[in-house]
A and B are shown apart, each in its own frame.
Chain A
Amino acid sequence: MSTTKPTNEMNGSNSNSTLKKRPQSYRNEKQAQIIAAHIALVLLSVLFVLPLLWMLSTAIKPTSETMTTPPKWIPSHFLWSNYKDAVMYGSKELGYIPFLVYARNTIIVTVLSVGGAVLSNSIVAYSFARIKWPGRDLFFGLTLATMMVPFPVTMVPTFALFKWLGWVGTFKPLWVPAFFASAFSIFLLRQFYRTIPMELSEAAKIDGCSEFRIFTDIVAPLSRPALMVVALFTFMGSWNDFLGPLIYLVDQHTFTLSLGLQAYQSQHGGTPWNLLMAASFLVILPVIIVFFLAQKVFIQGIATSGLK
């Protein structure tokens, strides 16, 4: 326990003269704090990850082993075929649950939403960050204020509007609004665009570059990390959306995954927990993969969203 790393002591005594005067007890206290932090972190991360591991464990169990007391963590044999059964599930009330159709629907909605959000927000944020026009800052303030409007307030008229357009029952209400930008993404991108020196734009203008060329050739390529954050947030929001599909999708064959997952839950008891967990994991998997691929960008994006 008392083995302090020599480098630590070196750094301490070199960089900060006050440390030299510190008694041994201070360093011991510091060390005890670090050990305590580690223990707390290990325990808490177990608490946070346990339900997910439980999901994985249940997903590969034979049905009989899902209902044992005490619960079994490691199944007697790994029933990987649960994943196949979950995808090809047939229940009495609903017949066949078309998991692959749900997956296709979700991908269509998500891809269109992400494309629309990146396109619209990148260009709108450019206007707010790098072009001067009368009323711009007032409108930006108004834009931020709209983040306070709860979704249920706009829910009924928006539904009535899409109904009037004949879009209820189609995917359009789920992805078309993405092409009209959103306050949160505009805010994120604007913060980023403002860090790019204006001199770059001015130099390009002198060279005869149009505003649109400056956007596509200079600002957008430099803003790739911020655009990634917008893409990721939109991807997650769209992939995980529940209320939207619940309101607008009518026919079971147009359902998205988050809506379709409910079909596994039998209303009359006897939920096939192992298949439900397998299906749930398949729904989560793409989000987790995308997150791990872009973790750094993503975490930075969230961090900046809180700093005004």
Chain B
Amino acid sequence: MKSRDAKFGLIFASPWILGFLIFLTYPVVASLIYSFCSFSVLRPPKWIGVQNYNELFHDEVFYTSLKNTLLYVAGAVPLSTVVAIALAMLLNTKVKGMSVYRTLFFLPTLVPMVALGTLFLWVFNGDYGLLNDAFHKVHVTPPNWLGDPTWAKWTLILISIWGCGQAMVIYLAGLQDVPVSLYEAADLDGAKAWAKTRNVTLPMISPVILFNVVMSIIGSLQIFAVPYVMFPGGAPARSTYFYTSYLYDNAFQYQRMGYASAMGWVLFIITLSLTLIALKLSEKHVHYETN
């Protein structure tokens, strides 16, 4: 009976065992090997040792794209996290029409990245854009959203707020799981709204916050489609040229696939380190229910 189970288990799992080997294990290992090779579509891989990494660490464009990406992560992750939690907490006040509001906040996450990029290109348009009109109405000179190197990055960070609907739904589910008795106890102690948020709500949803923040870091590090559509070539002045943009260009524009693989592995290590840092920093603050 036991071995029969094992046989069926493996047969049923076989699509994923194959997928795991073909689309994950093989590419991860192969890209490590390629990262030590000179390789393009036309030429087979040729071993060149650590040359790619050597060049990478002296490549100014690499540092620019890395800096842009880390700045974006540093801006977008906290901002969209705060907005998503705030929205979820507002929805959790059990107001009437909660599901309607929830749908409205969620709607933008359904929009394909390309459509999102083009739409915001139009909203932030310097001459006829919706946003600048609002600025003119209150007699404030709007910044050059798309043309100024500092502002272009902020424009992208602001757009990230628009995609916080998924995280919001996860936070809302977490908030709804917080036992009402905890709030009642806090009420008896005369706790005000802020004290309840700080001492009850946030600790209780801290595992959900950790999950969302980690997913958000991993996703933001890979930002590609929206800047690709909105800022061709990373304009203005390479301020929106991100890590994946440079990696993509190396692989498919410059035909430097070994170099791109080295970039891929560096990104992998950055992702792992940032995740570990997030886990480490959160250790003292994340509260897990013990059953």
Residues of A within 8 A of B (CB): 16, 18, 33-34, 37-38, 40-41, 44-45, 48-52, 54-55, 58, 66-71, 120, 123-124, 126-128, 131-134, 136, 139, 142-143, 146, 148-161, 163, 177, 179-182, 186, 211, 215, 236, 239-240, 242-243, 246-247, 257-259, 261-262, 264-265, 267, 273, 276-277, 280, 283-284, 287-288, 291, 295, 299, 302-308
Do A288 and B107 touch across chains, with their CB atoms under 8 A apart? yes
List, sorted by A's number, 23 A–B pairs whose CB atoms are closer than 8 Å. A18-B187, A44-B90, A49-B107, A51-B119, A68-B128, A127-B13, A131-B9, A131-B12, A139-B13, A153-B27, A154-B28, A157-B30, A157-B31, A159-B251, A177-B19, A236-B110, A247-B248, A261-B115, A304-B173, A306-B170, A306-B173, A307-B170, A307-B173
Residues of B within 8 A of A (CB): 2, 5-6, 8-13, 15-16, 18-20, 22-24, 26-28, 30-31, 34, 41, 87, 90-91, 93, 95, 101-108, 110-115, 118-120, 122-123, 127-130, 133, 136-137, 162, 166, 169-174, 177, 184, 187-188, 193, 207-208, 211-212, 218, 221-222, 224-225, 228-229, 232, 243-244, 247-248, 251-252, 257, 260-261, 263-265, 267-268, 271-272, 275
Q: A33-B93, A186-B16 are in contact. Are A55 and B119 (CB under 8 A)?
A: yes
Within 8 Å CB of A18, what residues of B? Answer: 184, 187-188
Within 8 Å CB of A243, what residues of B? Answer: 224-225, 248
Do B90 and A67 touch across chains, with their CB atoms under 8 A apart? no
Within 8 Å CB of B104, what residues of A? Answer: 45, 48-49
Within 8 Å CB of B177, what residues of A? Answer: 307
Complex-state Cα separation, A45 to B8, whole angstroms:
50
Contact pick for B136, options A70, A142, A148, CB 8 Å: A70
Complex-state Cα separation, A69 to B289, whole angstroms:
56
From B243, which residue of chain A is reached at the shortest CB distance? Answer: A152
From B222, which residue of chain A is reached at the shortest CB distance? Answer: A150
Do B24 and A146 touch across chains, with their CB atoms under 8 A apart? yes
Do A303 and B122 touch across chains, with their CB atoms under 8 A apart? no
Complex-state Cα separation, A123 to B12, whole angstroms:
6
B271 to chain A, nearest CB (A): 5
Complex-state Cα separation, A121 to B163, whole angstroms:
27
Do A307 and B251 touch across chains, with their CB atoms under 8 A apart? no
Complex-state Cα separation, A132 to B7, whole angstroms:
10
Complex-state Cα separation, A306 to B107, whole angstroms:
19
Do B101 and A41 touch across chains, with their CB atoms under 8 A apart? yes
A290 to chain B, nearest CB (A): 9
4 pairs of A and B residues whose beta carbons are closest in the complex: A180-B19, A133-B9, A306-B170, A303-B173
Contact pick for B30, options A48, A51, A126, A160, CB 8 Å: A160
Within 8 Å CB of A182, what residues of B? Answer: 19
B20 to chain A, nearest CB (A): 7
A185 to chain B, nearest CB (A): 10
Do A41 and B12 touch across chains, with their CB atoms under 8 A apart? no
From A186, which residue of chain B is reached at the shortest CB distance? Answer: B16
Within 8 Å CB of A265, what residues of B? Answer: 118, 229
Q: A148-B272, A180-B15 are in contact. Are A160 and B257 (CB under 8 A)?
A: yes
Query: Which applies to chain A's interface (DSSP): helix, strand, loop or mixed?
Result: helix
A230 to chain B, nearest CB (A): 13
Do B268 and A44 touch across chains, with their CB atoms under 8 A apart? no
Do A276 and B27 touch across chains, with their CB atoms under 8 A apart? no
Within 8 Å CB of B108, what residues of A? Answer: 48, 51-52
Do B162 and A152 touch across chains, with their CB atoms under 8 A apart? no
B32 to chain A, nearest CB (A): 9
Contact pick for A181, options B16, B170, B187, B243, CB 8 Å: B16
A25 to chain B, nearest CB (A): 12
Within 8 Å CB of A48, what residues of B? Answer: 104-105, 107-108, 162
Within 8 Å CB of A261, what residues of B? Answer: 112, 114-115, 118
Within 8 Å CB of A41, what residues of B? Answer: 90-91, 95, 101
Complex-state Cα separation, A186 to B15, whole angstroms:
11
Contact pick for B169, options A69, A151, A157, A302, CB 8 Å: A302
Q: A156-B260, A239-B112, A284-B115 are in contact. Are A148 and B218 (CB under 8 A)?
A: yes
